Amino acid sequence: MIREKSCGAVIFYRDSKILYLVEQMIQGHYALCKGHVEGNETEMQTAAREIREETGLEVTFIPGFREKTEYSPYSGCIKEVVYFLAEAKGKANRVQPEEVSALLWLEYNQAMRFLTYDSDKKILANARKHIK
């Protein structure tokens, strides 16, 4: 059995309301920002690097939030994904074109409608509770 690990974050921005970042991936689905661990990176280092690569954002991680999910992306593989909670210092305006088609800043209910996978929706719901 092959094991893979990715790390990412629920990214939010405080404007007059809280907006959450949802990525439209080039494959067509909508997801939270995440990517594979490289070398000896820590989970948080991986999340920060992936956020910078995919969005150009600098973020501040919010202590006390770490959620994990597992799934099988293909036969014979189990993938673990660890998510943190991160506040953006500004809104992203660039994407990593090899992976991301668009960045959407959405209110909670909109983000829940856009996200493709139930696991991402669960992570977002838990992150929202942590912010409040």
pTM of this structure: 0.94
pLDDT digits (tens, 9 = 90+) for 93-107: 678 878 899 999 999
pLDDT in tens, 31-57: 999 999 999 999 999 999 999 999 999
How many distinct structural domains can be found in the chain? Answer: 1
Three-state secondary-structure class, residue 56: coil
Find out whether 99 and 54 touch, Cβ atoms under 8 Å: yes
| pLDDT of amino acid 30 | 97
Return the CATH number at 82. 3.90.79.10
Structure tokens at 124: 């977002």
Name the residue range of residue 6's domain: 2-131
Residue type, 5: K
Query: Cβ(124)–Cβ(108) under 8 Å?
Result: yes
Query: Quick one: average pLDDT of 69-79?
Result: 92
**Count of helices and strands (H, E) across the chain:** 3, 8
Rg (CA), the chain: 14
